[in-house]
């Protein structure tokens, strides 16, 4: 609690006691002299409780700001004194102050929780200079210097581990609770927490360009890209206050003049109007809801660059996804080994392929080596020849071996098995005999299928997959995932063209989301209504180009983002309807004389507090 707020509470409480004394006096004393005494006590209570409000009001008047909250409250309460409602005048001010304290407290609390979400800033770095560890601010460390990170410390700068191994807690960046292993030679991102061993890291970036600084910058500026709903509130409040004040003036003048009503009665009703005329509940709670939503998403490892994107996500109608790296791992792996001849084991087949392909740098040969646990013995290998577009040949342990595609086998006059599966197929033959094949494919991510199903479940009407990959591979993947619309063999510019076409097919209100891996999809990410980049950790291009960055590699986070967006918008709508509804209702009742100033104060600060509490819900993510 801030000092200012504490003082305010103390003052309000003191005033409340004096006010109670006043009520007590008025109950037991009724002669003329004590009436003046009671008035004096009420006035004292009023000054203690509302003195600062009146002071601010006068100051604002000097700055020609008459429609300010303080001024309106002052007019309303002093007005109440003049129409003889002393008790009510003090009570309304008291109630207003209590509400303001609550409001201040709620705002402070939400500010703190938001600050806690952004609490990933490293305070210092231990840099090794001349063999000594020196504690400096992260900004002072140059690229290429070596920093020391002890267990429990936050990694201050991006870099590469040069010594030691450890486990990293990446939760602050990715929302992923499973710790990550790191060893020598691996790149690590700032913002993670070192859990076990001591690490020496050579920095690769200055602090300003490091992951943690970029993320902080992104999160802090997210609030400045305002949503439609926020613009609506700004516009609404611009007209609302003057409108209500005008109504108040008319209400105090017209009925007594035209209908001969009592002046006190109508002025009192008009004063209630003034109390309700502040749009505070909306002005605070709507941005707060969006902030809560952005913060909640951040906790899940989903960085959204602005309230406008958070708002737009709820209107998603079309989801266009890139295949490689988004729905699939983007890494080739041996998925099947099929010996087709008796006496040949899987291990043998793999060993031959790995041995012969060992000389090549092709991703296929890399994936062969990953699974082949035997040390490849190159000395047994002779006359290695690359057959362009077909494969390789060599003499292995004195026997002629061919490793390559189906075309090569047919060229050799052999009958390779038609695998009927998708991926790269490596056939192997030895001494004119067909031995079998190995299937190498890009694996589909474990949560991709459920992600597609859930997208359908949340009402996404169109799911499209784009890829630069071969048609049969694309169709096979799409079939497994349950995606019906597939475009394959696309160049980057084809993707842009297709997305533009899809944008034309939908209505303006509905949104098109493109999900890519951020490496080479920048133009498409920019063209779509909302561009989502996957695997943002350590990829600057993705953070630059996209509107939403998913820090983990999981496509299921797309649904999470849409859900958070929908929940936030529900809260925003609730607050708008609730705040405006209550205000209009009390305005109506006050005009009819059925609601007094008490109700009016509730419509002002009470509604604001409730709306703020409701807005805080947006931060909680299931």
Partner 1 sequence: MKKTYLLEDLDCAHCAEKMEKEVGKLEGVSDSRVTFLTQKLVIEVEDDKADKITKEIKKIVKKFEPDVEVVEK
Residues with catalytic function: 322
Under the criterion CB under 8 A, does residue 107 sit at the interface with partner 1?
yes
User: 225 vs 456, which CB is nearer to partner 1?
Assistant: 225
Phi, psi for residue 295 in degrees, rounded to 5: -65, -45
Contact present, 520 and 330 (Cβ < 8 Å) = no
Distance CA 196, CA 171 (A): 15
Is residue 336 involved in binding partner 1 (CB under 8 A)?
no
What Rg value do the Cα atoms of the chain yield, rounded? 35
Residues 19, 291, 402, 437: which binds partner 1 (CB under 8 A)? Answer: 291
Residue from the set 234, 335, 340, 417 that interacts with partner 1 by CB under 8 A: 234
Token readout for 101 is: 């304290």
Read off the tokens for 133: 């560890």
Q: Which helix (H) or strand (E) holds 116?
A: helix 86-117
Kindly state the number of chain residues that form the binding site for partner 1, as judged by CB under 8 A: 26
Distances (CA, A) of 202 to 160, 173, 188, 205, 452: 5, 21, 10, 9, 40
Least separation in angstroms between CB 111 and partner 1: 6
C-alpha dist (Å) from residue 480 to 459, 476, 514? 20, 6, 20
Closest distance between partner 1 and the C-beta of residue 452, in Å?
Answer: 36
The single residue among 165, 237, 360, 417 that binds partner 1, judged by CB under 8 A, is 237
114 binds partner 1 (CB under 8 A): yes
Residue number with CB closer to partner 1 (159 or 292): 292
Pick the piece of the chain touching partner 1 (CB under 8 A) from 43-51, 275-283, 345-353, 366-374.
Answer: 275-283
For residue 537, the minimal CB distance to partner 1 (Å) is 24
Residue owning tokens 């498409």: 524
Nearer CB in complex with partner 1: 521/604: 604
Token pair listed for 194: 């070192």
**What is the helix (H) or strand (E) element at residue 531, kind and residue range?**
strand 530-534
Task: Identify residues 490-519 at the interface with partner 1 (CB under 8 A).
Answer: none
Binding of partner 1 by 288 (CB under 8 A): yes
| Smaller CB separation from partner 1, 229 or 320 | 229
Measured from the CB of residue 504, what is the shortest distance to partner 1 in angstroms?
Answer: 32
Of 12, 26, 110, 194, the residue at the interface with partner 1 (CB under 8 A) is: 110
Task: Detail the DSSP E strand segments found in 111-192.
Answer: 125-129, 132-136, 146-149, 159-163, 166-169, 180-182, 187-188
111 binds partner 1 (CB under 8 A): yes
Question: Smaller CB distance to partner 1: residue 310 or 408?
Answer: 310
Tally of CA atoms within 13 A in the half-sphere of 375 that contains its CB: 2
- Three-state SS for 574? helix
Token pair belonging to 51:
């003195």
Q: Minimum distance from CB of 223 to partner 1 (Å)? A: 4
The residue among 69 and 553 lying less far from partner 1, judged by its C-beta, is 69
User: What interhelical angle do 471-481 and 448-457 show, nearest 10?
Assistant: 60
CB of 519 to partner 1, least distance (A): 28
CB of 39 to partner 1, least distance (A): 31
- Using H for helix, E for strand and C for coil, what is the string for 314-328? CCEEEEEEEHHHHHE
Q: For residue 597, what are its two tokens? A: 């100033």
Residues 570-609 that bind partner 1 (CB under 8 A): none
Please state, in angstroms and as integers, the Cα–Cα distance from residue 455 to each residue in 302, 483, 555, following that order: 17, 11, 10
Residue with Cβ nearer partner 1 (222 or 355): 222
Q: Which is nearer to partner 1, 112 or 471 (CB)?
A: 112
Taking the complex as a whole, the smallest distance from the CB of residue 618 to partner 1 amounts, in Å, to 12
| Structure tokens, 48 | 């203690």
- Please report whether residue 2 would count as binding partner 1 according to CB under 8 A: yes
- Do residues 532 and 517 lie in contact, with contact meaning Cβ atoms separated by under 8 Å? no
For the window 213-232, what string marks contact with partner 1 as x by the rule CB under 8 A? -------xx-xx--------
C-alpha–C-alpha distance, residues 33 and 348, integer Å? 113
Q: Which stretch binds partner 1 (CB under 8 A): 108-116, 321-329, 333-341, 585-593?
A: 108-116
Binding mask 50-89 for partner 1 (x = CB under 8 A): ------x--x---x-x---x--------------------
User: Of residues 161, 199, 284, 303, which one binds partner 1 by CB under 8 A?
Assistant: 284
Q: Closest Cα to residue 324, out of 469, 455, 435, 462?
A: 469
Q: Tell which one of 120, 278, 460, 515 touches partner 1 (CB under 8 A).
A: 278
DSSP 388-409: TTTEEEEEETTEEEEEE-HHHH
The closest of 605, 622, 615, 606 to 72, measured between CA atoms, is 605
In the bound state with partner 1, the residue whose beta carbon lies nearer, of 64 and 504, is 64
Least separation in angstroms between CB 284 and partner 1: 4
Whose CA is closest to 190, among 540, 568, 504?
A: 540
Residues that bind partner 1 (CB under 8 A): 2, 4, 56, 59, 63, 65, 69, 104, 107, 110-111, 114, 220-221, 223-224, 234, 237, 278-280, 283-284, 287-288, 291
């Amino acid at each position: 609690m801030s000092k200012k707020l504490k003082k305010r509470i103390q003052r309000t409480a003191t005033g409340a006691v004096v006010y109670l004394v006043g009520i007590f006096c008025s109950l037991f004393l009724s002669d003329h002299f004590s009436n003046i005494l009671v008035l004096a006590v009420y006035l004292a209570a009023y000054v203690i409780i509302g003195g600062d409000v009146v002071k601010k009001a006068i100051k604002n008047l000097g700055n020609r700001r008459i429609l300010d909250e303080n001024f309106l409250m002052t007019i309303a309460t002093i007005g109440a004194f003049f129409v003889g409602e002393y008790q009510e005048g003090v009570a309304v001010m008291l109630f207003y102050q209590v509400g303001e304290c609550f409001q201040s407290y709620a705002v402070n609390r939400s500010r703190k929780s938001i600050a806690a979400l952004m609490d990933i800033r490293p305070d210092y770095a231990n840099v090794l200079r001349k063999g000594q560890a020196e504690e400096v601010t992260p900004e002072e460390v140059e690229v290429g210097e070596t920093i020391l990170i002890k267990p429990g410390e936050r990694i201050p700068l991006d870099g590469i581990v040069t010594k030691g191994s450890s486990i990293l807690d990446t939760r602050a960046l990715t929302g992923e609770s499973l710790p990550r292993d790191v060893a020598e030679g691996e790149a690590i991102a700032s913002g993670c927490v070192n859990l076990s061993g001591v690490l020496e890291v050579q920095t690769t970036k200055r602090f300003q360009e490091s992951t943690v600084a970029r993320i902080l910058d992104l999160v802090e500026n997210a609030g400045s890209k305002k949503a439609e709903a926020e613009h609506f509130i700004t516009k609404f409040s611009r007209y609302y206050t003057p409108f209500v004040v005008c109504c108040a003036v008319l209400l105090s003048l017209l009925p007594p003049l035209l209908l001969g009503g009592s002046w006190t009665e109508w002025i009192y009703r008009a004063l209630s109007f003034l109390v309700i005329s502040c749009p505070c509940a909306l002005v605070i709670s709507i941005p707060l809801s969006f902030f809560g939503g952005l913060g909640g998403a951040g906790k899940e490892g989903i960085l959204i660059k602005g309230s406008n994107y958070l708002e737009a996500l709820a209107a998603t109608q079309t989801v266009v996804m890139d295949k490689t790296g988004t729905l699939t791992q983007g890494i080739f792996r041996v998925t099947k080994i099929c010996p087709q001849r008796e006496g040949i084991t899987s291990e043998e087949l793999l060993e031959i392929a790995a041995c012969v392909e060992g000389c090549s740098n092709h991703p296929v040969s890399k994936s062969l080596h990953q699974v082949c646990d035997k040390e490849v013995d190159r000395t047994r290998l002779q006359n290695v020849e690359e057959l362009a577009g077909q494969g390789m040949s060599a003499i292995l342990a004195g026997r002629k071996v061919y490793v390559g595609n189906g075309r090569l086998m047919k060229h050799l006059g052999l009958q390779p098995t038609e695998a009927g599966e998708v991926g790269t197929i490596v056939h192997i033959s030895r001494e004119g005999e067909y031995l079998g094949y190995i299937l190498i494919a890009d694996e589909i991510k474990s949560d991709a299928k459920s992600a597609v199903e859930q997208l359908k479940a949340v009402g996404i009407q169109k799911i499209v997959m784009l890829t630069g990959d071969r048609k049969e591979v694309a169709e096979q993947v799409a079939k497994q995932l349950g995606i019906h619309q597939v475009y394959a063999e696309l160049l980057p510019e084809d993707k842009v063209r297709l997305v533009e076409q899809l944008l034309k097919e939908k209505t303006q209100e509905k949104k098109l989301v493109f999900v890519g891996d951020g490496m080479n999809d920048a133009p498409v990410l920019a063209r779509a209504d909302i561009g989502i980049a996957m695997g943002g950790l350590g990829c600057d291009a993705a953070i630059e180009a996209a509107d939403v960055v998913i820090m983990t590699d999981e496509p299921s986070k797309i649904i999470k983002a849409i859900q958070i967006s929908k929940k936030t918008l529900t809260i925003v709508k609730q607050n708008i309807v609730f705040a405006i509804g209550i205000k209009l209702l009390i305005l109506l009742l006050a005009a009819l004389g059925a609601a007094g100033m008490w109700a009016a104060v509730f419509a002002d600060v009470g509604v604001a507090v409730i709306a703020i509490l409701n807005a805080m819900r947006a931060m909680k993510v299931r």
